[in-house]
Structure 1
C-alpha cells in the first residue's frame, strides 16, 4: 500500500506542512496589510482633521470657515466617500459630501481623540476619527473626519487576489523541492536494499564503508553478521569433515573384517557385514551431502559446463562409462547459485544412475528457464513405469534390485536441489527416463 511507503508518508506530511504554513502566512500577511492600510488611512484623516480645525473661526454668531478647509474633491461631491463634520453646541457644520446627512453625535472628554465606526449617508460603514476641541473663548466642539470603510475592504481584497497566486506558486516550488530532497535523501535506502539483494545473490560479499555517516553503523552490523555466519558455516564444514573422517576408519575396519570372514569361507556373515557397512556408508554420504548443501556460503556459484565436464571425466574412465555414447549440450555461460561440490555430487548421482540404466547412450543438456537453469539427464534404457517414478527419489528406493547401487543417489540429488531452492523432476521417455534438475541462478 502507498500509505506504508516512507517516501509517500514524508512527501504527504511535507506537502501538508507547506500548505498549512503558507496558508497561515498568507492570512497573517493580509491581516498585517489591513492593519497597515487602516493606520495609513487614520494618519491621513488625522491630517485632514487638523486642516479642518485650523480653518475654523469663532465669531459672535457662531463658527465659520475662513476658507475651504479641504481641497479634496471627494469632500465636495455628494456621497463622495470622504466626509467631515463639526459639532459645536447647537451648530453643525459639515462637508458637502454629506449632503443632507448628519453624522451621529457623541460626547468626548476634553482633549480626547476617538477612532470609531459610524453609519454613512448611503448606508455604508464609515471609519471615523473624532477629536474634542476647546477654543480660546472656552467654546467646545467635536470635529470628525470619516471615510468609506469599503475602500479598506477593497484594498484588502485586491491585495489578497495579488498575493495568493504567488503563495500558490511558492507552495508548488516548495513541494517540488521537497520531492527532490526526498529523492536525493532516500537514495541510500534504495541503494542499501539493492546491495542487500546483491549479498543474497552472491554478487557482493560485504556492505563496505561507502555509505552516509548515519548508515555506517547499520552497514558495519550487517558485515559483522555476515562474518559471524561465514565463521559458523566454516566451523560446521570442519565438523562435517571430521565426522566423515571419524566414521571412515571404523567402516573400513568392518569391510576388512568382512574380507577376512570371506577368506575363511564364511560368506554369509561377510555378505551381511558388507551390506550393513555399505548402507551405513550411503547414509553417512547422504547426510553429509545434505549438510554441505545447507551450509553453502552465501556467495557460492557453480558453472554448469565445468561441473558436468569434471563429472563426465570421472565416469568415462569407468568400464561402464567407456561403453556409453555421451551426448553433451551445455552452454558455457550457464551458472547456478550453489556450491560447485554440491552440484558435482548431484550431477554425479544422476549421471551415474543414467549410465547404469542406459542401453547405449546418455544425453546431458542444459538451458535457461526464467530465473532457473534446467539440467536434463536422459538415458535410453527401458525406463520405469509411470507409477514408479514417484518412488525413485525416496530414501534407498531402487527399481533395479539387481544392481549394486544403494538407492541413495537420487535422494541425495533431490536434497541438494531443494536446499539450493530448486527441485528434481522425472518424466518417462520412449525409450528411457529424463531427470531434470532445476536450480536457481540467484541465491534464495
Structure 2
C-alpha cells in the first residue's frame, strides 16, 4: 500500500499549494456564475428599458388615438418578439392573452424598474415604465423570457468549470514541478551529508540558496569544531603517552631486573608512580572542566559558578573569589564547551601556582567579553611572559604537565578572533586577561 509521510516537506507544500489552487479556482468558478448571471440581467434590463423609452417616444410622435396607438404598439412588438402589456387610461392591450394574464397584476404596482417573475419553469424579466400620454396616465410592461438565456449561461458555466478543472490539474502539475525543483538543494544537501558520513568529502558545499547559507555555515562550523576537538584530543593523548612512556619504562625495567629493591630504589619507583598518577589526574581534571555542553551557548552566571565551585573542591587550600559586573550579559554567543575549557585552563593554572588566593572577574560590554584571573603565586619573570602560550613550553617543572594548557587556550581564543594578555598580577602572581568579541566575531 502506498504510504504518505505527513511529515514530509514535499507533501506539506503540495498539500498547501494544491489546497490554495483548488480554493482559488473553485472560488473563481463560483464568482463567474454569479457575475455572469448578474451581468446578463443588467444587460437585458437596460435593453428592455431602452425599448420602453423608444415605444413611448413613438406613441408621442404618432399622435394617434388610444386604440390606434395600441394597435401600432402591437405591430412593433411583434417584431421585437417580446411580451408586452400596455394600459392607457382604462384600455389594456397585450401581445397575447397569456402575456396579459401573467403581467396584468404588475400594472397596478408603483414605480419604474426591472422585475423578476417566476411562473412554473419560466423566468421572466419585466421592465415597468409609467408615463403620461396626451394628458392620460399609462403603464407599459415589457418582458423577456430569461429561462432560455439561463440555460445558455448554465452551459457556458459548465464549460468554464471544465476549463477550470483542467487549469487546476495544470496548476497541480506545475506545483509539483516547482516544489521538486525548489527542494532539489535539500536533496543535494542530504546527498552531501551522506557523502560526508561515508568520508567521501570533508565539507558541505556553500553553493546553496540564500535561505540555507546559515544552515550550511553552521554545519561546517560544527564539523570544524569537532575536527579541532579531535585534534586536541589526539595531541593530548600523544603527549600523555610520551610523558608516561619514560616513567613506565623505568618502573618496568626495575621490576623485571634481578637486583633487589632497596629503600632508595623504592623511593624512586614511588616518585615515578606518583608522577604517573599526577599526569592522569591532570588529564581527568581537564575532562571535567570541559563538561558535556558542546553546542550550547554560554550562560555566564551558571557556567562560571559551576567551574569555580569545581576548583574550590579540587584546591581546597585556595580561596577562589568570583566577581561579575552587575550589568553583565547573562548569555553570550560563545560555545559553552569552549568557554569552560578556556576559563578552566586559566583557573587550573592559577590554582596550581597560587599560594592562597585566586580572583576571577567577568565583564561584558556590547562588543566584548573580558575574563581576568589573578593569583598570588610566584608569577612569571617579565622576560618570560612572551613565551607563555607557546606549545610545549613549561617554565617550571614542579607540577606535572605537557606545557599545552595555555597553548590550547591561545588556539581557542584565536577561533573567536580574541586575544590573551599575560601580565604581573596585583596579588603578586600572574594575571591572565582573555578578551572575546561578541559582535562581528564568530557566532555559535
Q: Please, what TM-score do these two structures have when normalized by structure 2?
A: 0.53
Contact 1:117 1:125 in 2 (8 A): yes
- Change beyond 3 A, Cα 1:46–1:227: same
Contact 1:58 1:64 in 2 (8 A): no
3-state DSSP class of the match of 1:224?
Answer: helix
3-state DSSP class of the match of 2:135?
Answer: coil
Contact 2:89 2:137 in 1 (8 A): yes
Which residue does the alignment assign to 2:360? none
3-state DSSP class of the match of 1:143?
Answer: strand
2:20 to 14, 17, 27: 17
Structure 1 position 245, deviation (Å): 1.5
> Hey, what's the Cα distance between the residues in 1 that align with 2:100 and 2:142?
16
> Hey, what's the Cα distance between the residues in 1 that align with 2:102 and 2:252?
133
> Hey, what's the Cα distance between the residues in 1 that align with 2:91 and 2:75?
17
3-state DSSP class of the match of 2:101?
Answer: coil
Contact 2:131 2:139 in 1 (8 A): yes
2:70 to 61, 64, 71: 64
How is 1:286-365 mapped onto 2 (pairs within 5 angstroms)? none
Which residue does the alignment assign to 1:213? 210
> Hey, what's the Cα distance between the residues in 1 that align with 2:23 and 2:122?
35
Which residue does the alignment assign to 2:127? 129
Contact 2:55 2:73 in 1 (8 A): no
3-state DSSP class of the match of 1:254?
Answer: helix
Alignment pair present for 1:184 and 2:181? yes
How is 1:100-249 mapped onto 2 (pairs within 5 angstroms)? 101-103=101-103, 104-107=105-108, 112-120=111-119, 124-135=122-133, 137-249=134-246
Structure 1 position 194, deviation (Å): 1.3
1:42 to 27, 37, 45: 45
Greater mean alpha carbon deviation, residues 205-214 or residues 100-109:
100-109
Contact 1:85 1:92 in 2 (8 A): yes
> Hey, what's the Cα distance between the residues in 1 that align with 2:19 and 2:66?
71
Structure 1 position 259, deviation (Å): 5.4
Contact 1:83 1:98 in 2 (8 A): no
Alignment pair present for 1:8 and 2:14? no
> Hey, what's the Cα distance between the residues in 2 that align with 1:60 and 1:239?
122
Structure 1 position 71, deviation (Å): 5.5
- Change beyond 3 A, Cα 1:60–1:45: closer
Contact 2:86 2:94 in 1 (8 A): yes
Alignment pair present for 1:84 and 2:71? no
Count the aligned residue pairs: 265
Q: Please, what TM-score do these two structures have when normalized by structure 1?
A: 0.53
Structure 1 position 236, deviation (Å): 0.7
> Hey, what's the Cα distance between the residues in 1 that align with 2:168 and 2:89?
59
> Hey, what's the Cα distance between the residues in 1 that align with 2:135 and 2:33?
45
3-state DSSP class of the match of 2:21?
Answer: helix
- Change beyond 3 A, Cα 1:3–1:254: same
Q: Deviations over 1:398-423 (max 9, x none)?
A: xxxxxxxxxxxxxxxxxxxxxxxxxx
Contact 2:116 2:126 in 1 (8 A): yes
> Hey, what's the Cα distance between the residues in 2 that align with 1:219 and 1:227?
12
- Change beyond 3 A, Cα 1:60–1:253: closer
Structure 1 position 165, deviation (Å): 1.1
Structure 1 position 222, deviation (Å): 0.8
3-state DSSP class of the match of 1:64?
Answer: helix
> Hey, what's the Cα distance between the residues in 2 that align with 1:174 and 1:60?
64
Which residue does the alignment assign to 2:55? 52
RMSD in angstroms over aligned alpha carbons?
Answer: 3.3
- Change beyond 3 A, Cα 1:194–1:68: same
Structure 1 position 105, deviation (Å): 3.2
Structure 1 position 175, deviation (Å): 0.8
- Change beyond 3 A, Cα 1:13–1:173: same
**5+ unaligned residues in a row in structure 2: which ranges?**
281-444
Which residue does the alignment assign to 1:415? none
How is 1:267-278 mapped onto 2 (pairs within 5 angstroms)? none
Structure 1 position 216, deviation (Å): 1.4
- Change beyond 3 A, Cα 1:16–1:222: same
3-state DSSP class of the match of 1:202?
Answer: coil
> Hey, what's the Cα distance between the residues in 2 that align with 1:224 and 1:60?
100
